[in-house]
Amino acid sequence: MRDRLIFAGQLLFTLVVAAFLIVPAVLSMVAGVTENYFRGVRSGLTLQWVMQVWELYADTIARSFAVALITLGVTLIVGIPAAYALHLRGGRLSRAIEEIITLPLAVPGLAIALALLLTYGGFSDFRRSSLFIVAGHVVFTLPFMVRSVMAVFALVDVRTLDESASSLGASPWRRFRDVIVPNAIPGILAGSLMVVTLSLGEFNLTWMLHTPLTKTLPVGLADSYASMRLEVASAYTLVFFIMIIPLLVAMQVFADRASHQGARR
Amino acid sequence: MNAFHGVSVRVEACAKIFADGTRALEPVTLDVARGETLVFLGPSGCGKTTMLRIIAGLETPDFGGRVLFNDADVTGIPIEQRNVGMVFQSYALFPNMNVAENIGYSLKIRGVGKAERAARVAELVALTGIEGLERRRIDQLSGGQRQRVALARAVAARPSVLLLDEPLTALDAALRERLRWELDRLLRTLGITTIYVTHDQAEAMALGDRVVVMRKGAIAQVGSPRDIYFAPTNRFVAEFVGAANLVEAHAVDGMLSLPGGRMMLADTKASGDVVAMIRPESIGLVAPGAASLSGQVERVSFVGDRQRLTVSGATLRPLIIDAPNTLDVKIGERVGLMVDPHAVRVLPGEHA
């Protein structure tokens, strides 16, 4: 009886996931390769919409990846030392700083974008470049990097490792390079995965910050929904999936392997 | 291995109050001779670890305190430039490096070439008896092996002073005893100035040339293991180092009057209220009539190599006595107690 209930529950859950997550995604992707959406798949399959998307929006795809990678680079360079410093210092000040860094999670993206525009909108070269979007993405994704690295630091007692490396003669920079970073790899990978995913999919902040010449993938998607045939927009979704899924899978595998190593410790 | 290396260490008026207001250390001044093994012994929170961390350079003493290596002031020098070796309680081995890489790390930092590094690592691996483990990851080692790796790593670069923070505490009792002997042999071989922190008095006795007993951030007594055992200068040291009977009584001309009789002191002029310390093993059991002091056996606890008796009626508080394990005593039996006057230590400055 109990087993039946569990089975029924699991089945229901699976069906709900399928109905609201998988089916719509698949339908949307199929629409992207359908000759005429209103007549259905019977009207025939075509790649013309995909080609059209590629012609119109290839630059947004490239830009999105560039923005995501630069964002990742900045969060790595800023986030890991920040996590190291916050963890080692400890105390009330560190906690306050951690809270401030985390604030963008609670504040709506639109509000952050508006604040950035008010403050830096006047620097027109900066405002017009993709770096403006990178700035927004860094503000939004940094807490994820800092938090996941700090979680690992707490786990491996990085403070004592740091002290023991210093007793062996290692300068702060050598300690950071030889001991701190290698032992934080699982957290760094998990953080990177989050940062890249969030940056690629980020819409509301980006929508405020973009210019017609600095559209990213999700902004382009909104644009195509608003101004193109439904088939084109759907083809765009298809392209989005094809681009992002292999990347996510690769990073997941990478992170799994690293955290397995971490667990064995 | 090279004979004596290392420096003399002087700690001058080092005190420490932490940012939260905790007073960890009263001003302490202390000298450690070159090649000496000095043990800081005390209960947790007595300031011994803070002392060690100040010498290491992981903490700075409060204003006015100084640390000197070979008479040179190192107070402002960060730990990485002090050339110390340190073994942490948790060992703090680097999980991202194997055993050989851990041991060779300080040499790599100092720019020692690969071949020379390998030779030194091999030498240390042999010295600490961990041959065959060089390529192992840290998580593949037992507690005892980790302890040896930590020690080998700490001495690899021939530090001027070796600092050990409760290096055996994380191990189980049997292993601890064995590693204690090993450690002692190793420290003698290296001849390096060693500062050792522990809360285990047996460890302190076995390893220390001198022992510093600490209490509430201050030094309670400094002396050889024999000094602090046989001639404690205060009640705290007497009770913390080994088992002790503290007898509070009135003395007249070197004679203590007790509920169960009399006891002689070595100092025949001692008079007034005194606190006398007697170690459990220095009280002999004889027939009730054969001694000037007697009492009644209240409890017998056989522990194998000896038996520990509790005898009441002789003094105000029951006496603890270690008797040979072959002696046949029964609860309730009346026994005479023989105490050599020289084994009775009157604690100076303590009043009953």
B170 and B50 assigned to the same domain: yes
pLDDT at res. B82: 92
The confidence band for B3, taking pLDDT boundaries of 50, 70 and 90, is very low
Residues in A touching B153 (Cβ below 8 Å)? 168
Torsion, Cα B348 B16 B202 B352, to 10 degrees, reads 20
The whole-number pLDDT of residue A247 equals 78
Residues in chain B: 352
| CA B257 – CA B250 distance, rounded (Å) | 6
Cα–Cα distance between B236 and A17 in angstroms, integer? 69
Query: For residue B30, is it within any domain?
Result: yes
- Residue B351 forms part of a structural domain: no
Q: Which residue has the higher pLDDT, B6 or B89?
A: B89
Question: Model confidence over B318-338: pLDDT tens digits?
Answer: 999 999 988 888 899 999 999
Q: What would the DSSP string read from start to end of chain A? A: -HHHHHHHHHHHHHHHHIIIIIHHHHHHHHHHTEEETTTEEEEEE-SHHHHHHHHHHHHHHHHHHHHHHHHHHHHHHHHHHHHHHHHHH-HHHHHHHHHHHHHHHHS-HHHHHHHHHHHHTT-HHHHHSHHHHHHHHHHHHHHHHHHHHHHHHHHHTHHHHHHHHHHTT--HHHHIIIIIHHHHHHHHHHHHHHHHHHHHH--HHHHHH--TTS--HHHHHHHHHHHS-HHHHHHHHHHHHHHHHHHHHHHHHHHHHHHHHHHH-
Q: Residue A221 CA to chain centroid, in angstroms?
A: 17
For chain A, first and last CA: distance in Å? 42
Q: How far apart are CA B143 and CA B168, in angstroms?
A: 9
What is the per-residue pLDDT for A178? 94
Q: Model-level pTM? A: 0.81
Q: What is the pLDDT of residue A264?
A: 47
Q: B47 is in which domain, residue-wise?
A: 9-237
Give first-to-last CA distance, chain B, whole Å: 53
Q: Which residues of B38-66 are buried (b: 16+ CB within 10 A; e: fewer)?
A: bbbbbeeebbbbbbbbbbbbbbebbeebe
> Which one is predicted more confidently, A5 or A254?
A5
Residues B334 and B258 in one domain: yes
The CATH number that applies at residue B315 is 2.40.50.140
Domain total of chain A: 1
Query: For an interface test with A, which of B60, B80, B103, B108 has the most A Cβ atoms less than 10 Å from its Cβ?
Result: B80
Chain A residue at shortest CA distance from B20: A91
Among B237, B272, B296, where does a domain finish?
Answer: B237
Which residue among B80, B95, B163 places its CB closest to the CB of A169?
A: B80
**CB contact (8 A) between residue B95 and residue A169:** no
Adjacent-strand bridge partners of A6: none
Of B92, B109, B153, the CB nearest to A160: B92
ipTM for this prediction: 0.85
Q: Are residues B15 and B64 in the same domain?
A: yes
Query: 């069906």: which residue's tokens?
Result: A15
Q: Is residue B4 part of a domain?
A: no
Domain at B224, CATH number: 3.40.50.300
Q: How far is it, in rounded angstroms, from Cα B56 to Cα B163?
A: 7
Give yes or no: residues B289 and B250 share one domain. Answer: yes
Number of A–B residue contacts, CB under 8 Å: 67
CB contact under 8 A, A163 and B92: yes
Within a domain: A154: yes
Name every chain A residue with its beta carbon within 8 A of the beta carbon of B58: 163, 166-167
Alpha carbon of A97: minimum distance to chain B alpha carbons (Å): 19
Q: Domain containing A111 — which CATH number?
A: 1.10.3720.10
Give pLDDT tens digits for B149-196. 999 999 999 999 999 999 988 888 888 888 888 888 888 888 899 999
Nearest CA in chain B to A170: B80
Of the residues B20, B94, B121, B141, the best mutation for testing chain A's interface (the one with the most A CB atoms within 10 Å of its CB) is B94
Condensed to tens digits (0 to 9), the pLDDT of residues B198-232 reads: 999 989 999 999 999 999 999 999 999 999 999 99
Residue B15 forms part of a structural domain: yes
- Judge whether residue B4 has pLDDT over 90: no
> Which among A91, A164, A264 is the nearest to B86, CB-wise?
A164
Whether residue A265 has pLDDT greater than 50: no
Q: Is residue B352 part of a domain?
A: no
- Domain presence at residue B3: no
B313 and B331 together in one domain: yes
> Is A12 among the domain residues?
no
Write out the two tokens for B141.
Answer: 């080692």
Which residue in chain B is spatially nearest to A182 when comparing CA positions?
A: B96
Look at residues B191, B211, B237 and tell me which one is the last residue of a structural domain: B237
Q: Is residue B247 part of a domain?
A: yes
Q: What's the pLDDT score for residue A258?
A: 65
Average pLDDT, chain B: 90
More confident residue, B36 or A257: B36
CB contact (8 A) between residue B90 and residue A157: yes
Q: For residue B36, is it within any domain?
A: yes
Q: Is residue A185 part of a domain?
A: yes
Q: Which of A91, A171, A264 sits opposite B80 (nearest CB)?
A: A171
Percent of chain B with pLDDT over 90: 65
Question: What range does the domain containing A179 cover?
Answer: 56-264
Q: Do A167 and B90 touch (CB under 8 A)?
A: no
Identify whether residues B215 and B275 lie together within a single domain. no
Please report, rounded to a whole number, the percentage of residues in chain B having pLDDT higher than 70: 97
Match 């105000």 to its residue by tokens: B316
Cα–Cα distance for residue pair B293/B283, rounded to 1 Å:
11
| B78 touching A (Cβ < 8 Å) | yes
Shared domain check, B202 and B297: no
Q: Look at residue A196 and tell me if it is in a domain.
A: yes
Contacts of A167 in chain B (CB under 8 A): 56, 58, 79-80, 84-86, 154, 163
The partner residue sitting opposite B96, judged by closest CB among A167, A174, A183, is A183
Rounded CA separation A75/A83 (Å): 11
Hunting for tokens 């029951």 — which residue is that? B318
Contact A157 B94 (CB under 8 A): no
> How far, in Å, CA of B15 to CA of B38, rounded?
19
**Quick one: pLDDT band at residue A116, thresholds 50, 70, 90?**
confident
Residues B161 and B195 in one domain: yes
The string of pLDDT tens digits covering residues A237-260 is 888 888 788 877 887 787 677 666
Q: Is residue A167 part of a domain?
A: yes
Q: Is B109 on the interface with A (CB under 8 A)?
A: yes
Question: What's the confidence (pLDDT) of residue A174?
Answer: 93
Q: What is the pLDDT of residues A121-140, one digit of tens each?
A: 878 788 888 888 899 899 99
CB distance A265–B79 less than 8 Å? no
Identify whether A4 is part of a domain.
no
Residues of B in Cβ contact (< 8 Å) with A157: 90, 92
Residues from chain B that touch A166, judged by Cβ atoms under 8 A, are: 58, 78-80
Measured between CA atoms, how close is A184 to chain B, in angstroms? Answer: 10
Task: Identify whether A249 is part of a domain.
Answer: yes
Chain A contact probe: residue of B77, B105, B107 with most A CBs at under 10 A: B105
Provide Rg for chain A, Cα atoms.
23
Task: Write out pLDDT tens, residues A26-56.
Answer: 888 888 788 777 777 777 778 888 888 888 7
- The Cα–Cα gap between B179 and A20 comes to 63
B82 and B214 fall within a common domain? yes
Asked if B285 and B336 sit in the same domain, the reply is yes
Return the structure tokens found at A136: 């927004």
- Please write the tens of the pLDDT for every residue from B112-152: 999 999 999 999 999 888 989 999 999 999 988 999 999 99
Name the domain count of chain B.
2
Write out chain A residues lying below 8 Å of B105, CB-based.
Answer: 165, 168, 170, 178
Q: Of B202, B237, B272, which residue is a domain's last? A: B237
Domain membership flag for residue A166: yes
In chain A, the residue whose alpha carbon lies closest to the alpha carbon of B58 is A163
Q: Which of A167, A175, A260 to mutate to test the interface with B (most CBs of B within 10 A)?
A: A167
H/E/C letters for each residue in chain B?
Answer: CCCCECCCEEEEEEEEECCCCCEEEEEEEEEECCCCEEEEECCCCCCHHHHHHHHHCCCCCCCCCEEEECCEECCCCCHHHCCEEEECCCCCCCCCCEHHHHHHHHHHHCCCCHHHHHHHHHHHHHHCCCCCCCCCEHHHCCHHHHHHHHHHHHHCCCCCEEEEECCCCCCCHHHHHHHHHHHHHHHHHHCEEEEEEECCHHHHHHHCCEEEEEECCEEEEEECHHHHHHCCCCHHHHHHCCCCEEEEEEEECCEEEECCEEEECCCCCCCEEEEEEECHHHEEEECHHHCCEEEEEEEEEECCCCEEEEEECCCCCCEEEEECCCCCCCCCCEEEEEECHHHEEECCCCCC
Most confident of A60-64, A78-82, B2-6, B287-291: A78-82
Residue B70 main-chain phi, psi, to 5 deg: 50, 45
